[in-house]
């Protein structure tokens, strides 16, 4: 009978809860003091995890005396307060102090995005520096345009509207608008100040390969794989001319600085010219040895540069039609060309992972930038000619100062879905993990990347930080568990030895053949690692995997303590109780199980979800558990009764949940928003809208003043304006 199992389970549960485990060592005294604005704060619950679990309250003087052994983790709690620090780990006799701050009831209407940590998901196809020099616009295969504030080196705005990858991007001469062309055959004109779509130019039947503005900014020319060139009056979205040059796919179009020529090139290796006023073809024409990928007029219009698929670069004089410069330095296709605003230098970007800077007048190469490690798909000069930006196939944007030849910025983020987030203990940094195999550590205040760790050979599905901020744990789809220092150095690797010869060679194979079974135990998981969680005292690391196993590792000894096997299906989520005495787990069989730290069998099983359990989280005092599942429900469990006491059902899947440090609020990631609910009542309090797209993860900062969420190739942080 389930009720008998529940009763006996809870008997053991509370027996362990009350008795704890015995530890050797000298007993010492500890004085905990809690203040509010310098005055004693009474009635604060102090939770202590160490050789035993203890819970007490501060008196009128705001203090509490504690006795213990070994390492103790101290956490204060009082309804409606946040504390700094959120917890402390102590190992000897001393006085420790916490500062409490009362927080007002919150409807979350005054929470705003404080940081957007992002990059493109996939190839950066185009980039262009604004005429004022402050902003750099980038466009990618992820359907996005990102506007970067180059003074602050941060994303200012995202432009969403294209349904397919964006191939080309150009600022208007006044800098107030952006024109973009995409694989969906559509051109969109955007307003810089708001990010709103101003006009949609519809008519092309295939990829837009190139767009350019007329010098006065009233017209746009576009080239497409539908084999046409079109001229538009962009205000009103009116097509003026439709040109069918019979050159195959149109690869590049460019408006001359004087406005008297349109240059275009297709798949036949010719460059043709048209009168933009009438759309008629001119007699002038250049034939070259291969297809032309890019055309670029010099600032005064006296020269036209062309970059070919075979890596050949040529510059022609428009007055004499003579070739004034050429180079075969690139050994693969040239993807983009741009003249320096002064007209003396020309930058070329290629699939050979190099950007070259040329002086065509002198016929020399002045600089090369090769620290890129992928195709360079676009290049753009700052208006003052001091800086050069390059966009790459690997979603990275580089920037160099020409005079010093030094890289002055690198805008890089996750190239894939962000699966896990973990705040550092004091909320100054946040770690993110992704399907791009990286762990990235960010400055949560500035949004600046501090560390980039190539962590696993496959998706990094989970990441966690120790309470002292010294170590980071990770688990990946390469079946490995790793521990890193905060500086990004690999410290420990726990993995499955896949081949018996890695240990004992042919002798092992012979013994296994005779016995008919494995002769050695695996060191780690046999399949994907889905979750990693450090215990509150940082002594243990628990891991869960697709193999149905839960493994507990000793962090100091760097060894496996034990495995919890026999789960019917995969285990997706783990959570230690606040005291570190208990471990909750949920997974594929829709059952939540709770183990004692040293118990082999679960002490209790919570049944109610109708589909796999996605995430579990403990309340601050450990008396409640909240869970969410693939059955699109969030459930609250009263552990003193062993029963479900609350449930909400949703239309959309809840991807992640997290309880606030004060214990009053539950955040859940659902679609493109974070919903904030009262806990444990589950009343709706407010929502935070994603500036980018669907959210896969959500985490409160340690002091409850910020919320971080992750999606595809981005992390967003909200914070309350004032307390």
Give me the pLDDT at residue 53, please. Answer: 63
Nearest C-alpha neighbor of 691 from the set 160, 110, 150: 160
Chain centre distance of CA 585: 26
Confirm if 663 and 619 have CB atoms less than 8 A apart.
yes
Is residue 503 pLDDT above 50, yes or no?
Answer: no
Give me the pLDDT at residue 4, please. Answer: 34
Nearest C-alpha neighbor of 443 from the set 460, 455, 426, 457: 426
Give me the pLDDT at residue 252, please. Answer: 95
Return all residues near 68 (Cβ < 8 A) that are at least 6 apart: 27, 28, 30, 48, 50, 51, 52, 54
Confirm if 482 and 456 have CB atoms less than 8 A apart.
yes
Q: What are the strands of the beta sheet with 490-494, ordered from one edge? A: 460-465, 471-476, 481-485, 490-494
Cα distances from 572 to residues 417, 453, 690, in angstroms, run 17, 24, 25
- Predicted confidence band at 107 (pLDDT cuts at 50, 70, 90)? low
Per residue in 312-356, pLDDT (tens digit) is 999 999 999 999 999 999 999 999 999 999 899 999 999 999 999
Confirm if 58 and 46 have CB atoms less than 8 A apart.
yes
Is residue 632 pLDDT above 90, yes or no?
Answer: yes
Give me the pLDDT at residue 8, please. Answer: 37
CA dist 709 and 395 (Å) reads 21
Per residue in 612-628, pLDDT (tens digit) is 999 999 998 888 999 99
Residue 639 phi, psi (nearest 5): -75, -20
Residue 365's Cβ-side half-sphere holds a number of Cα atoms within 13 Å equal to 13
Per residue in 542-590, pLDDT (tens digit) is 999 999 999 999 998 888 888 887 678 899 999 999 888 899 999 999 9
CA dist 293 and 301 (Å) reads 19
Give me the pLDDT at residue 608, please. Answer: 95
Is residue 115 pLDDT above 60, yes or no?
Answer: yes
DSSP E strands, 309-363: 313-317, 323-327, 334-339, 346-350, 355-359
- Cα torsion at 151, 722, 109, 686 (round to 10°)? 110
**pLDDT averaged over every residue in the chain:** 86
Q: Answer left, alpha or beta for residue 349, where phi above 0 means left and psi between -120 and 50 means alpha.
A: beta
Is residue 42 pLDDT above 60, yes or no?
Answer: yes
DSSP E strands, 570-642: 571-576, 582-587, 591-596, 604-607, 613-618, 624-629, 633-638
Question: What integer is the mean pLDDT of 679-686?
Answer: 88
Per residue in 635-676, pLDDT (tens digit) is 999 998 889 999 999 888 999 999 998 888 999 999 999 999
Q: Give the pair of three-digit tokens for residue 531.
A: 């979750």
Is residue 162 pLDDT above 90, yes or no?
Answer: yes
Confirm if 312 and 289 have CB atoms less than 8 A apart.
yes
Is residue 372 pLDDT above 70, yes or no?
Answer: yes
Better-scored residue on pLDDT, 114 or 647: 647
Give me the pLDDT at residue 641, please. Answer: 84
Largest CA distance in the chain: 97
- Predicted confidence band at 681 (pLDDT cuts at 50, 70, 90)? confident
DSSP E strands, 61-134: 63-68, 72-77, 81-84, 88-90, 94-102, 111-118, 124-129
Nearest C-alpha neighbor of 264 from the set 239, 240, 285: 285
578: buried, middle or exposed (CB in 10 Å: 19+, 13-18, 0-12)? buried
Question: What integer is the mean pLDDT of 403-413?
Answer: 80
Confirm if 608 and 642 have CB atoms less than 8 A apart.
no
Q: Global pTM? A: 0.68
CA dist 117 and 258 (Å) reads 40
Question: What integer is the mean pLDDT of 461-485?
Answer: 94
Pairing of the two strands 604-607 and 613-618: unpaired
Please list the alpha-helical segments (H only) found in 446-530: 505-515
CA dist 359 and 305 (Å) reads 12
Give me the pLDDT at residue 25, please. Answer: 56
3-class SS of residue 64? strand
Pairing of the two strands 28-36 and 94-102: parallel
- Predicted confidence band at 22 (pLDDT cuts at 50, 70, 90)? very low
CA dist 181 and 202 (Å) reads 10
Confirm if 412 and 399 have CB atoms less than 8 A apart.
no
Confirm if 63 and 40 have CB atoms less than 8 A apart.
yes
- Cis status, amide bond into 680, omega within 30 of 0: yes
- Predicted confidence band at 721 (pLDDT cuts at 50, 70, 90)? low
The sign of the torsion formed by the CA atoms of 664, 667, 668, 674 equals positive
Q: Which residues pair with 689 in a beta bridge?
A: 673
CA dist 628 and 569 (Å) reads 17
Q: Answer left, alpha or beta for residue 622, where phi above 0 means left and psi between -120 and 50 means alpha.
A: left
DSSP 712: B
Chain centre distance of CA 524: 27
Return all residues near 78 (Cβ < 8 A) that are at least 6 apart: 41, 43, 44, 45, 100
Q: Give the pair of three-digit tokens for residue 713.
A: 């190739």
3-class SS of residue 631? coil
Cα distances from 719 to residues 106, 114, 159, 661, 710, in angstroms, run 12, 6, 23, 14, 15
């Amino acid at each position: 009978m389930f009720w008998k199992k529940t009763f006996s389970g809870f008997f053991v549960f509370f027996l362990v809860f009350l008795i704890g485990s015995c530890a050797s060592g000298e007993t010492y005294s500890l004085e905990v003091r809690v203040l509010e604005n310098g005055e004693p704060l009474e009635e604060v619950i102090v939770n202590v995890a160490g050789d035993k679990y203890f819970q007490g309250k501060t008196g009128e003087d705001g203090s509490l005396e504690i006795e213990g052994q070994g390492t103790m983790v101290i956490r204060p709690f009082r309804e409606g307060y946040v504390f700094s620090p959120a917890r402390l780990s102590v190992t000897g006799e001393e006085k420790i102090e916490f500062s409490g701050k009362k927080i007002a009831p919150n409807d979350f209407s005054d929470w705003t995005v404080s940081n957007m940590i992002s990059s493109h998901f996939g190839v950066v196809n185009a980039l262009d520096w604004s005429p004022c020099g402050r902003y750099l616009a980038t466009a990618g295969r992820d359907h996005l345009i990102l506007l970067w504030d180059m003074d602050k080196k941060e994303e200012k705005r995202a432009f969403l509207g294209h349904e397919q990858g964006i191939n080309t991007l150009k600022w208007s001469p006044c800098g107030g608008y952006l024109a973009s062309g995409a694989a969906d055959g559509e051109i969109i004109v955007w307003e810089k100040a708001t990010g709103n779509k101003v006009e949609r130019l519809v008519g092309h039947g295939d990829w837009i390969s190139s767009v350019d503005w007329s010098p006065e900014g009233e017209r746009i020319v576009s080239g497409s794989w539908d084999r046409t060139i079109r001229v538009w009056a962009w205000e009103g979205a009116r097509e003026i001319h439709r040109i069918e040059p019979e050159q195959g796919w149109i690869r590049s179009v460019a408006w001359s600085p004087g406005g008297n020529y349109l240059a275009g090139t297709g798949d036949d290796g010719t460059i043709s010219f048209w009168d933009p006023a009438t759309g008629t073809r001119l007699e002038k024409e250049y034939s070259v040895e291969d297809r032309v990928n890019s055309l670029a007029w010099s600032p005064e219009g006296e020269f036209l540069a062309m970059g070919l698929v075979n890596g050949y670069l040529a510059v022609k004089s428009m007055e004499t039609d003579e070739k004034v410069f050429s180079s075969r330095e690139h050994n693969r296709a040239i993807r983009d060309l741009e003249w320096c605003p002064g007209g003396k230098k020309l930058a070329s970007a290629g699939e050979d992972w190099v950007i070259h800077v040329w002086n065509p007048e002198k016929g020399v190469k002045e600089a090369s930038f090769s620290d890129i490690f992928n195709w360079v798909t676009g290049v753009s000069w700052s208006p003052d000619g001091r800086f050069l930006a390059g966009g790459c196939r690997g979603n990275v944007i580089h920037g160099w100062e020409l005079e010093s030849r030094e890289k002055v910025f690198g805008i890089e983020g996750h190239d894939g879905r962000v699966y896990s987030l973990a705040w550092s203990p004091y909320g100054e940094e946040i770690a993110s993990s992704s399907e791009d195999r990286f762990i990235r550590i960010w400055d949560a205040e500035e949004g600046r990347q501090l560390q980039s760790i190539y962590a696993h050979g496959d998706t990094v599905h989970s990441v966690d930080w120790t309470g002292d901020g010294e170590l980071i744990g990770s688990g990946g789809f390469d079946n490995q568990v790793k521990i890193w220092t905060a500086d990004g150095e690999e410290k420990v690797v726990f993995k499955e030895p896949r081949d018996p010869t890695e240990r004992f060679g042919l002798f092992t194979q012979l013994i296994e053949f005779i016995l008919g079974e494995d002769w050695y135990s695996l060191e780690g998981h046999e399949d994907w690692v889905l979750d990693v969680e450090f215990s509150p005292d940082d002594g243990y690391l628990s891991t869960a995997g697709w193999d149905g196993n839960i493994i507990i590792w000793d962090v100091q000894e760097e060894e496996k303590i034990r495995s919890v096997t026999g789960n019917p299906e995969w285990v997706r989520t783990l959570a230690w109780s606040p005291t570190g005495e208990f471990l909750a787990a949920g997974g594929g069989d829709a059952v939540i199980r709770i183990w004692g730290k040293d118990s082999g069998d679960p002490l209790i099983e919570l049944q109610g979800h109708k589909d796999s359990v996605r995430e579990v989280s403990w309340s601050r005092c450990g008396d409640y558990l909240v869970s969410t599942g693939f059955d699109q429900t969030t459930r609250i469990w009263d552990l003193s009764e062993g029963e479900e006491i609350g449930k909400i059902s949703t239309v959309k899947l809840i991807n992640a949940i997290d309880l606030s440090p004060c214990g009053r609020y539950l955040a859940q990631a659902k679609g493109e928003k974070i919903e904030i609910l009262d806990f444990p009542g589950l009343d709706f309090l407010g929502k935070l809208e994603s500036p980018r797209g669907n959210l896969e993860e959500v985490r409160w900062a340690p002091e409850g003043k910020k919320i971080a969420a992750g999606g595809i190739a981005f992390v967003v942080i909200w914070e309350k304006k004032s307390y």
